[in-house]
Amino acid sequence: MIDVLFEELPTACGRSVGVATLNAPAALNALSLSMVRALTPMLRQWAYDNAIVGVVLQGAGEKAFCAGGDLRELYESLRANPGEPSDYARGFFAEEYQLDYLIHTFDKPILCWGHGIVMGGGIGLMSGASHRVVTSQSRLAMPEITVGLYPDVGGSWLLRRMPGRLGLFLALTGASLNAADALFCGLADLHLSAGARAEVLAAIQATSWSDSPRQNHAELSRVLARHEVRDLPRSNVREHFDLISELMAGDDLVDIAVRLRGLRREDPWLSGAAATFAKGSPTSAALAFELRRRVKHASLADVFRLEYDVSLGCSAHSDFVEGIRALLIAKDKSPRWSPASLEEVTTELVEDHFRPRWAGAHPLAALSATFGSACDVRTGTSLGKEQA
């Protein structure tokens, strides 16, 4: 099976829109390295092609846009190479982050149809799109704390820019977000009916597009606005915003942990979030907290470089492998974290995750704030203008 499908749909002006479809519905379109290696060169080609006015990024099936990264091959490579990041891990994280950065900096409009499950690596793909659509069936989350990782794929940059301390709460609890939550948090731009996808594509094809990417951004916004659905579900994050601010207050993670552990509410969303934190990797919590502190004034490119270092650090330590084992391999959902409690996580352990595990120039050194076009993951050509 071809895991990414590409097509170019003609429009009324004689130009075309590129459509990329993640095509692994049985795996909830989990993002594999082969998908990354298919998407990156095609997006680069479309960026240069004057006959392409924009891109639609979507997932096959009705259950998910993308449920996260495909971690099984990563798991096998790390098991075979304990104590050091494997070559596969080095390549996977570098190429995934380059793709995410490409989407963030793409000059032409990109519509991401975030229907169904959008988690982890799916957030990485969706967050950089210029036009991010959710539906009433959308469920978004960054639950990396459950697998011994942290919200990567630019998540540190994204979560830091959410209202108040919502980003920290989501990083620590992996809380699930509906369409209204996603709009409130800034993870999505529009709420459309799940059944409107074909109609939206038809409207895009019926539109006469401009030579100007800026004008085409505005035109796509107008097309989508005509299909927008204003009737939204109840937003958990909006309803509990003040409580979340109280829970996440202060500059000591242990204080925050004590408040989360002591949270007693009948609300299932809140209690579920607290339970996920309690069962999650203490080291992951510490990394998310430290990253939030470090990226406050960082550029998106610098955040991706920092996350690459930390992801290799996670690959060299035991919690990441153990988390994948418990959730996806043995599926016993009983990970044995080391250290087992937040109070045992030392400053030295956290710092070791930030230690460079590469020689020479940084593997993501080519990520740039200067507009060019897509980055070739093998040559390191400049990607494009950074949207801060």
Asked if the model's pLDDT at residue 255 lies above 80, the reply is: yes
CATH number, span 4-353 = 3.90.226.10
In the chain, domain spans = 4-353
What are 51-109's pLDDT values in tens digits? 999 999 999 999 999 999 999 999 999 999 899 999 999 999 999 999 999 999 999 99
Mean pLDDT within 223-246: 96
Structure confidence at residue 279 (pLDDT): 97
Structure confidence at residue 6 (pLDDT): 98
The catalytic residues are: 69, 121, 144, 152
Beta bridge partners of 16: 10, 52
The amino acid at 169: F
Task: Tell me, letter by letter, the H, E, C secondary structure of the chain.
Answer: CCCEEEEEEECCCCCEEEEEEECCHHHCCCECHHHHHHHHHHHHHHHHCCCEEEEEEEECCCCEEECCECCHHHHHHHHCCCCCCCHHHHHHHHHHHHHHHHHHHCCCCEEEEECCEEECHHHHHHHCCCEEEECCCCEEECCHHHHCCCCCCCHHHHHHCCCCCHHHHHHHHCCCECHHHHHHHCCCCEEECHHHHHHHHHHHHCCCCCCCHHHHHHHHHHHHHCCECCCCCCCHHHHCHHHHHHHCCCCCHHHHHHHHHCCCCCCHHHHHHHHHHHHCCHHHHHHHHHHHHHCCCCCHHHHHHHHHHHHHHHHHCHHHHHHHHHHHHCCCCCCCCCCCCHHHCCHHHHHHHCCCCCCCCCCCCCCCCCCCCCCCCCCCCCCCCCCC
What is the Cβ-side half-sphere exposure of residue 144, based on CA atoms within 13 angstroms?
Answer: 31
- 386 confidence band (pLDDT: 50, 70, 90): very low
Structure confidence at residue 374 (pLDDT): 37
Structure confidence at residue 368 (pLDDT): 77
